[in-house]
Structure formats: C-alpha cells, structure tokens
C-alpha cells in the first residue's frame, strides 16, 4: 500500500509551535518558522551562533536578536531545552516527542550517548518521601572516557586518545 503523504503535511514540531503562538496571541512570522524548521532538520545539539551560521549558509539572514528572542518561546512550548552552559554560552537540544533521557559524555572527544534510566524514578520517589518535595524534573549528566578514547590493552599509552 502506498502512503499518501500530502505536500502540505507539516513538521509536527512546527505545528506545535504554531499552536503555541496562536494560544499566546503572538504572531506567526516567517523568521520564527524558519528558525524552527532549521532546528528540527536534525537531532544534533546546537547553540545560537551555530544556528545563526547554518541559516546564513542557506541565505537566510535572520538576526541573532530574533534567534535570542525565539529560543525562549521554543523552551516554553517544550520543543527544546537548555542542555548546559559551556564554553561561555548555552547549548540546546530538541526534546519534542522524545522520551526523557540523560547524557553520558566523553571528556576527551565530546561524544555523547543518550540513555534512559528507570532507576531515576526510584531516586525521585525516595527524595519525595524523605524530604517532602514534589519532584518536577531531574538533570543527570555522566562524564567518562569512551571506548575509542581509552588506551588499548596492546598499547597502554594513557596519553593518546581519539579526537
């Protein structure tokens, strides 16, 4: 059976964004849509400068001010989130439609593994019982050395690592 995908089919993230804009009485603009579409073209983490340059490389000259004004909207409607503040600026990731996950990062090459950890629910329940908090969320980031960056058994040189 051939799937009949209409050309007008909209990226789900864009639909969510448009609905959010509407519900807040804000205005739908080309710039905002362009930013959303660019962010969701892939699943890589991103930062403001990178996003700005990606848009520019496609001839889409959207000011950084507009990007800085749009990102908080995307955070508010649950499409993206701040991952961390590193190298002097914020890094973001797409979260819409994805299960909650944590990051395992290689300190050497920066490789990132995303994982889901059921034990965190247990930890949250324990904390709620022990301290009476109503837990809303958690951020867990684990650091380590990935297999590729570890010294191989044959050549135990702890200095060399994959970059």
Q: How far is the CB of 15 from its own copies (least distance, A)?
A: 29
Answer whether 11's CB lies under 8 Å from 37's CB. Answer: yes
Q: Answer yes or no: are the C-beta atoms of 116 and 140 closer than 8 Å.
A: no
Written as one string, the DSSP assignment of 58-112 is TT----HHHHHHHHHHHHHTTSEEEEEEETTEEEEEE-TTS---EEEEETTT--E
CA torsion angle for 9, 11, 12, 14 (degrees, to 10)?
-120
Cα–Cα nearest to 38, from 15, 20, 13, 21 = 13
**29 near DNA (CB under 7 A):** yes
State in angstroms the smallest separation of the CB of 37 from DNA. 13
Can residue 158 be called a binding residue for its own copies (CB under 8 A)? no
Residues 6+ away with beta carbon under 8 Å from 63: none
- Give the residue, chosen from 11, 15, 28, 100, that forms a contact with DNA under the rule CB under 7 A: 28
- Rounded to a whole number of angstroms, the minimum distance from the CB of residue 5 to its own copies is 36
Q: 111 to 150, contacts with its own copies by CB under 8 A? A: 113, 115, 117, 119-120, 122-124, 126-128, 130-147, 150
Out of 69, 98, 100, 162, name the contact with DNA by CB under 7 A: 69
70 binds, among DNA, its own copies, none (CB under 5 to 8 A by kind): DNA
Q: What are the distances in angstroms from CA 35 to CA 2, 26, 74, 85, 121? A: 32, 16, 10, 21, 34
Token pair belonging to 121: 């629910």
Site string for its own copies, 70-99 (x = CB under 8 A): --------------xx--------------
Q: Among 24-32, 93-101, 122-130, 148-156, which window interacts with DNA (CB under 7 A)?
A: 24-32
Residues near its own copies, by CB under 8 A = 84-85, 104, 106-107, 113, 115, 117, 119-120, 122-124, 126-128, 130-147, 150
């Amino acid at each position: 059976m051939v799937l009949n995908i209409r050309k007008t089919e909209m990226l789900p993230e864009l639909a969510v964004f448009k609905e959010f804009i509407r519900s807040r009485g804000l205005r739908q603009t080309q710039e905002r849509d362009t930013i959303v579409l660019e962010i969701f073209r892939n699943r890589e983490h991103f930062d403001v400068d990178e996003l700005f340059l990606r848009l520019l490389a496609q001839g889409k000259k959207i000011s950084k001010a507009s990007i800085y004004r749009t990102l908080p909207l995307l955070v508010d409607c649950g499409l993206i989130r701040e991952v961390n503040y590193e190298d002097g600026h914020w890094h973001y990731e797409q979260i819409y439609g994805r299960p909650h996950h944590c990051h395992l990062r290689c300190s050497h090459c920066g490789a990132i593994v995303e994982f889901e950890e059921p034990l965190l629910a247990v930890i949250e329940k324990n904390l709620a019982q022990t301290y009476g908090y109503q837990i809303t969320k958690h951020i867990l980031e684990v650091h380590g050395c990935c297999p590729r960056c570890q010294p191989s058994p044959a050549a135990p040189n702890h200095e060399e690592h994959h970059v």
